[in-house]
Every structure is written in structure tokens, then in C-alpha cells.
A = this chain, B = another copy of it.
Amino acid sequence: MVTDARSVLQRCDELARCSEEAGRLTRRFGTPALAQARDLVAGWMREAGLHPRVDAVGNLLGARGDGPRLLLGSHLDTVIDAGRYDGPLGVLCAIAVAERLRDRPLEVAGFADEEGVRFGTAYLGSALLAGRFDPAWLDRTDADGVPLRSLVGDIAVPPRADLIGYAEVHIEQGPVLEALDRPVGVVTAIAGQTRARVTFTGRAAHAGTTPMDLRSDALVAAAAWVLEVHALARATPGLVATVGELRVEPGAGNVVPGRVVASLDVRHAEDAVREHAVEQLLAAVEGEVLQANGAVACDDSGFPADLPRLASGAGHDAVMLSAVCPVSMLFVRSPGGISHHPDEAVREADVAVALDTLTAFVEARC
């Protein structure tokens, strides 16, 4: 019987041994390491009175009871050189809650792909349940040329119509709860995101022979814009805007930069705020929007009012599930805000609060 935080964390440790690589945790979609993790978790599901099955894309789904039900869970795949909590913590908390409430009908999911590392498209797992698996994805190939098509079964399945809600525990992957000194927080929305590429064109020139007033320095223009991005985001509550990539051409110490290509990532829980910010930031530059996803509202009504509320800046399986049912998320404090890194951590006491909170949430719903 695993129902306490300490045991959940021991299972996180055990699961972290299922890896594609010795010495570090990497568990991508469609790998033997993921199948091994699934077998381990399926055993734990059975112990908790759930009946595990694996669907066409490799999601592990453990259900009990008939009729409409609540889905709990998270994903079992990881990034490369990952921490052990991003995903698995939510799956193992869900199983522990299923164990605590053995008389309730519910279902636990361990999704096969949320990170999108192998095929460059995230949410392959939860997309199937949501009826949002795009058949065009089947033609994608991984770095070794393996097509996605060769790894999955019949993806022509209807969206799930039997879910009354989806609830997910996940590490925050950010510093907000730590700054608030709170163990858990309720997600109000998953932020919408715009990704863009911005190009600054100047004139490459000799750094010694070209006087300042005869230069057109692409990096100087880009630098002014980077500061503008930062200032706008700081001045707009809830907005995050990031220039994470910046490539200087030709990129030699003695040549005035002729061209700079920069990335822009803008996120906000309200689409109108994000869209207005993107418009402002691209108004005076040569920009190209690569991707724009709307925000997803979360149902926070099942959680106590005294828990802190926050938006999620990162995407989660709940984005997909929102197509078929209300989605709710509970964040667990991330010490140091560390994520996608072996140093990713959670505190046992915080996990205990998350378990109790999720238990109460489920008790009130089904």
C-alpha cells in the first residue's frame, strides 16, 4: 500500500532507473526504457486496484468502475538528461490517491509523450484521448530516420466522451511557489504562447576602418530590441517575454555585425494581452510568427480557496485534454525553480500536501 509522500518519492527514484542511457535519465517516446517504465507503473496500478491497458500510441491507462469518470495522471516520458519528477510525480500521486480511495471509479493515465523530444511535436499521448492526434504527425521521423508511423497502432480512435474531468499534479518548474513560501498552488490557466523569429539587417563592415557614424550595426539594433522586449514584459503584469536565441553574422570580433537573427517567446494567461504585446514587439522589426497557441483555462473550483493561484507558463497534457473535459492542475513547489535538469527536486512535505489536496479534490468529484 503506497499512499504517503515518502513512498511516492521512492517510486519516483525506482522509475528513474528506467532510462535509455546509463548514468542519466532519458526516456523518450517509443523506447524500451519507456516500455520498462510502463510495466513497472502497470504493476503499481494493479496494486491500487486499477486495470492497466496500453493504447495505440503507448499511453498506460489504468481504470476501474463504469460510466463517466475522472481522469488523473501525467506523462511518463522525459527530456534528455532529465530530472525524475517532471511527469512521473503526477502519475505516481494519481496512483497513490487511487489507492487511498479504492471505492471510487476513476482512471489514471501515464502518457507516452508530453515532451515531444523524439518527434518534435509534444502531447502525442494525450492528443489521442482528446481526438486531436493529427495523422500528418505519422510521417514525422526521429533523428535516426525512424518514422512515427512505425511505432504506433490505429490512431483513428474517437475522442474520449466519458471523462468528467482531468486533474494533474505536476512540479511547478518555476520559482513562484518558492517565492510565496507555499507547498502547492492551483493553476488558473495554461498560458498561451507565441514564438517568433526576428531578423535585424545591417551592413557587415571592417571593425577598424568603418567610423561609427558610417555603420549600420545589426547587433546594436538587436540589443535595443532585446531591452524593449524585457521592459514591456516587466511593465505588463503576468507577461513573460524571452529572447533565448540570438545569432550574430558573420560573427567575427573584427567585423561589424551585418545580420542578427533572434528568437522571441511571449506567454500570457490572457490571449488578448499576449497578442497585443507581440504586435508591439514586432511592430518596428522584421518578424515572423512561427507558432501561436491560445491560453487554456483551468477549472480551479475543486480546490480550497486559500491555496495560491498561478498561471502555468509551460504547457501540459491538460492543454490537450481541455478539448474533451474540464481540466484542473495542482503545482508542487520546485526548489530553486529547477526543471529539465537532474537537479530537479521536490520536498516530501510538499508532496504530502499535494496528495491530501488531490485526495480531497477527487472525493468531492466522484
Chain A residues packing against B (C-beta within 8 Å): 172-176, 179, 191, 193, 195, 205-214, 217, 219-220, 222-224, 226-227, 230, 233-234, 239-246, 248, 251-257, 263-265, 267, 312-315, 337, 339-340
A208: which B residues are within 8 A, CB to CB?
A: 173-174, 191, 193, 240, 265, 267, 312-315
Q: How far is the CA of A190 from the CA of B14 in the complex (A)?
A: 67
**Main SS of the interface on chain A?**
mixed
Instruction: Determine if B230 and A227 form an interchain contact, defined as CB atoms under 8 angstroms apart.
Output: no
Residue in B closest to A265 when the chains form the complex, CB atoms? B207
* Known contacts A217-B230, A239-B212, A265-B253; is-contact A207 B244 (Cβ 8 Å): yes
For the complex formed, measure the closest distance between the CB of A64 and the CB atoms of chain B, giving whole angstroms: 34
* Known contacts A220-B227, A265-B254; is-contact A209 B246 (Cβ 8 Å): no
Name A244's contact: one of B209, B213, B255 (CB within 8 Å).
B255
Q: How far is the CA of A251 from the CA of B242 in the complex (A)?
A: 11
* Known contacts A175-B210, A214-B179; is-contact A205 B246 (Cβ 8 Å): no
New A-B contacts (14) at CB < 8 Å, excluding given A217-B230, A244-B255? A172-B209, A174-B210, A175-B209, A175-B211, A206-B313, A206-B337, A208-B315, A209-B339, A210-B240, A211-B240, A212-B239, A219-B243, A223-B224, A244-B257
Q: How far is the CA of A211 from the CA of B172 in the complex (A)?
A: 12
For the complex formed, measure the closest distance between the CB of A52 and the CB atoms of chain B, giving whole angstroms: 31
A265: which B residues are within 8 A, CB to CB?
A: 207-208, 253-254
For the complex formed, measure the closest distance between the CB of A135 and the CB atoms of chain B, giving whole angstroms: 27
For the complex formed, measure the closest distance between the CB of A285 and the CB atoms of chain B, giving whole angstroms: 14
Q: How far is the CA of A21 from the CA of B256 in the complex (A)?
A: 27
A223: which B residues are within 8 A, CB to CB?
A: 222-224, 226-227, 230
